[in-house]
Structure 1
């Protein structure tokens, strides 16, 4: 399992905070195969973090994140999604 962190730049400031909440809820309710998902807004970009299996480059998660952004940010914007990091999740047995 890998922890993937994705960032989306160019999100309209008026939409970011609500989109982060909506995207976090979307993953929790409708995409249970992604684990420990959180989406946050820092005033300039959305950051999605999730633990995922069988997605070593984060492309599957990126596709799902893109779908959510399209669904929850109705006004169009000129932004993009990038992989910030991918790291193995260490199972500490807890």
Structure 2
């Protein structure tokens, strides 16, 4: 199992709080392969933390996060960064 942390920089302050809640709900409802998902917003940064057992480089989660950002924040011209991947025992 892996705990993956991603950050999305450049999120407009007006869109951030709502997007964080919407993205958290979207992952919990429609991405059953991602566990313990939480998306938060602070200081222009959306932070997504999720656990899964198949994505040791976080690449799939980055793709899923990107899709959700595009769906909930438009227009958007920010960047997504992999912060960490932690192997859980």
Name the TM-score, length of structure 2 as normaliser.
Answer: 0.96
What residue in structure 2 maps to residue 88 of structure 1? Answer: 87
Structure 2 segments unaligned to the other structure (5+ residues): none
How many Å separate the matches in 1 of 2:60 and 2:53?
A: 10
What residue in structure 1 maps to residue 3 of structure 2? Answer: 3
RMSD: 0.8
How many Å separate the matches in 2 of 1:44 and 1:68?
A: 17
Q: How far did residue 43 of structure 1 move?
A: 2.8
Q: Which has the larger radius of gyration?
A: 1
The answer on 1:20 being equivalent to 2:20 is: yes
How many Å separate the matches in 1 of 2:38 and 2:66?
A: 15
Moved over 2 A (4+): none
Name the TM-score, length of structure 1 as normaliser.
Answer: 0.91
Paired residue total: 89
